[in-house]
Structure 1
Amino acid sequence: MSDLTANDNPIPSVETTNGSSLEDAKNTVVNSKLPSSSTARLTSSIDASAAANAVKNHPITQSVTNGPVAENIKEQHAKTANEFSNLSASRTTPATPAATGQQLTHYHSFFSSLLSWNNPRASGIAYLSIVLFIFAARYLDILRYAMKLTWVTLAITVAAEAAGKALFSTGFTSQIRPRKYYTVRKETLDSFMGDVTELINFFVIESQRIVFAENLLASGAAFVGAFLSYYLIKVVPFWGLTLISTSVIFLTPLIYKANQELIDHHIKNASDVINSQTEQVKQLASHHAARATETTKQYAGEYAAKAQEMIGSRSRSVSPTITKAEPAPIKKENIPAYKSEDFPAAPKEEFKSVPATSSEQEPLIAT
């Protein structure tokens, strides 16, 4: 007598088939427990998983993912990530302060490491990114495409929500809505604002260091760039001038780093020639200055002697000379002759004073 009932489904024995008994048992259990629609979905997912595993385990796929090309790509990706990490870690405050004694920003170290090509992959990617952005700003209407992306996104979300509520009483957009809207943490915002402040101060400090010639070579290079830009802006558009400036800023250190020995050798030779010529000019200038001083002293002495001689001769011509005056001739005129009898006789007695009377005397003090 059998123990099976009408509602029981028999499960085949594991030993009855060759290799497919477990698969048949699984299918039997699944078919007996799940409805037809769920069974179809499960079967399709199992088939898709099996197909994915088959593609993944295929020899061609294994040769591509584990071959030398893939290994090289992984190695380069690891090196690039490492260089970006080093570039990010270089944002430290420099130990050497400015000429005024104040500390520089950590962006001084960052841009110094970026432009010196100490991390070539990171510097190259940064340069290419800036160049692509310049070309995109020139040939692509970025603002128009941004507005188009905005209205297309809103149209899709609104239409999906409206269609879902009309057909299924539940909007499709609300189904993918996050449980909690994304927000920016205060710590992240403070860190971002701190970086922005440091970046602004970097440009402010560097502009002042260039203007006040703290580094003569940097100020000279800035002068040459500004001078050439003044004339190039008349014939070159702004985006072209920006591209030229970016290429000069990034590629000049790279060229110097690749040919450092040759460039240093020529710079040393040029410096020696300039120093020797400068020394010769100094010696020649000092020689001519000494000769000019001697000539000036000689002419000054001659003119002083001539001036003294002229002053002496003028004083002798102006001052009167002492000469012996000859007596003037006496003119003889007819003067009548006088005799002593013609004059009265001289008195022989002294003069006698007449005494004054008292009535004639006036009082000394008037009463």
Structure 2
Amino acid sequence: MSNNRHDEAERYATAARKSMSHVAFEVFKSPSPCLNEDRFDEDFFAQRGSEDVRTFNLEQVLTILTMMDKDILIPIIEGTLPQRVRADLSQAMRNEIKQPDTIPGIYINYIVDKNGRHPTKADILAILDAMQDYINEFDDGVKVFSRVIDFLFKPKDPQGLKYCENPSQKAGAELFIEGMRDRLSSEPNGPLRGGISEVGFSINISSRLANHYKHQSSNKVMTLFDACAMHLFVDRYSIQGYPVVRIVSPHAVDMAECLISRLPSSYVLWGWGFNANQAGASVQGVNSLKILQAAADSKGKNSWATIEAEASTSGITGERAVVEQRIKDSREEMADIIEEHGATLDANLAAQRRYHRQFKRLRQLASDEDDDQE
């Protein structure tokens, strides 16, 4: 039986509709209660959810979540963000994009059409065939189809395969292809539910997203998929990315990337995403001299200390209000249940007392009859 991405997404989305705290606790559940196998990042979160470090990591995750717009978080989980930003979330995303290069953050990429719709099942199957044809030439001396694909985006004359430079990248693409074929076997026709995402960190999100779009220093599985889609369906699909959360501390960067990678299931395993490597392992941007030294460049870069000091606490305030309301509601619900059970217990106790009184009268009556017979 295939692992179902929709069950995993619904688990997180249900938690997010309650509070960010619920999401944090769901994130650290290991193994997942709705999957048959370990996830790509199972060890990472299992280790950080162990008893001796659990509290610290829960606090980190809550800090990250409370920096997010809840209206953006749920579409990230469900994979509906590309369409939602063109509709009811357009203002929320404009607010997020407003100053993209002043604060580092986490972004998410999708491959979608101009309306934000994910590729269809039929199109993906054709793209997978093209991807397989491409990586089949990894060990071949003669490059034919791969040259066609490699010439679609600059630079157009790579030494080897642009999207498959080493065995590790080849293995990542193969894992994605195999997983996606299995995923599609239980999917209906039409746009892929939940889509396919890629998550990353950058201190300059807008320029990083532009690089992904142009296939420069980008994710190899995602860009190979995009190039094959361009070859088969010219300009039907493209990489589209969005900033989703700002990071106010260098100490939270790796956890933030891992968290946002887990929530939308962005790893190649089972064909759920484009990430072929564990998130959080390549966040060298935190060491940028511009941000460490607070160089006042043309883009207004601030230091980590300034970013943290000026960070908004509205998310924390909002989460506290949600939690307090849920505590109040839970207490009222418990009081109603206790009252109902209390009335039942009182009635039961009264019935037992009546029974005992009647039992005592019967015993007395039996004793009197014995005396009369004597």
TMscore range, shorter length: under 0.3
Greater RCO, CA 8 A, separation 6+: 2
The answer to which structure has the higher strand fraction is 2
Query: What TM-score, normalized by structure 2, do the two folds share?
Result: 0.26
Answer with 1 or 2: which has the greater Rg. Answer: 1
